[in-house]
Structure 1
Amino acid sequence: MVAQLIARARSGNWLRTDHLVESKAIWSQANGISPDWLEGVRLANVSVQLATSIWSIELLHDIDVLSNMFTDNWRLDYESPIARGIHEVCVARLKTWRYEL
């Protein structure tokens, strides 16, 4: 989902489909899960929904603010209050996403 925010801050657009698929694959690997194709599509959809709602926070329009949420090896830095806040929103949303068809 953070990839969506970065794409929007850089280009003014959300991720293209191919980049969204790649981002989902990276997220899945980092989290040790292997969603089937339907779950993958639904995860991508949730990503867009979350990014759209979080985008209303004007601070997140700044690419420098978004960049500061990462460690030197481009992993999210959970010491960052912004990264932790986004993570909490995502966790709460993912707890309900499986029940929506």
Structure 2
Amino acid sequence: MQLLHYNLDNEARTELLGYLVAVQLIARARTGQWLETAHVCESVLLWLSANGGNCSARERSDLSRLSVDVAERFLELPPFDDEARLFQMILALTRLDYRNTDAKKILAVCGECITHRYGSGQS
């Protein structure tokens, strides 16, 4: 059995967290609730698989919890409660549209959180 090494740098963590925040906001706009734990875990694994990422269960859990904390910062802002507009941020199942203004805002906040949590280093 070959063990995979953990390969998320801060840029990848920011992208994963941004994706999770977007899907959390979509769930909240659609149902009034955050994603259930099982759905967040599934979203993390989908993103990691689609992007060739690998990280520990602890880091997956940490980023999943952080996604709600970050998403809460956007709740009071009008574009982030509109389900149709939120869907425009997602290009594919696991990809944000990095040219989208709203996605850029989310990624900027996520980048700050990741830098604060993991430092300015890349691992």
Return the TM-score normalized by structure 1: 0.84
Q: CA deviation at 1:26?
A: 2.4
Q: 1:84 and 2:104 equivalent?
A: yes
**Structure 2 segments unaligned to the other structure (5+ residues):** 1-20
Q: CA deviation at 1:30?
A: 4.4
How far apart are the structure 2 equivalents of 1:21 and 1:36?
12
Deviations 1:36-80 (A, max 9, x none): 111111111111100111222122111111012123x34311111
% identical equivalent positions: 35
Kept in 2, the 8 Å contact 1:69–1:82? The answer is yes
Return the TM-score normalized by structure 2: 0.71
How far apart are the structure 2 equivalents of 1:15 and 1:86?
17
How far apart are the structure 2 equivalents of 1:59 and 1:67?
11
Residue 22 (structure 1) aligns with: 42
Structure of higher RCO (CA pairs closer than 8 Å, 6+ residues apart)? 2
Please identify, of 22-31 and 62-71, the stretch whose mean Cα deviation from structure 2 is larger.
Answer: 22-31
For the pair shown, the structure with the greater C-alpha radius of gyration is 2
Q: Which has the higher strand share?
A: 2
The runs of 4+ residues in structure 1 deviating greater than 6 Å are none
Q: Quick one: which amino acid aligns to residue 38 of structure 1? A: R
Please identify, of 10-19 and 45-54, the stretch whose mean Cα deviation from structure 2 is larger.
Answer: 45-54
Residue 40 (structure 1) aligns with: 60
User: Cα RMSD (Å) of the superposition?
Assistant: 1.7
**Structure 1 segments unaligned to the other structure (5+ residues):** none
Residues paired across the two proteins, number: 98
Please identify, of 81-90 and 6-15, the stretch whose mean Cα deviation from structure 2 is larger.
Answer: 81-90
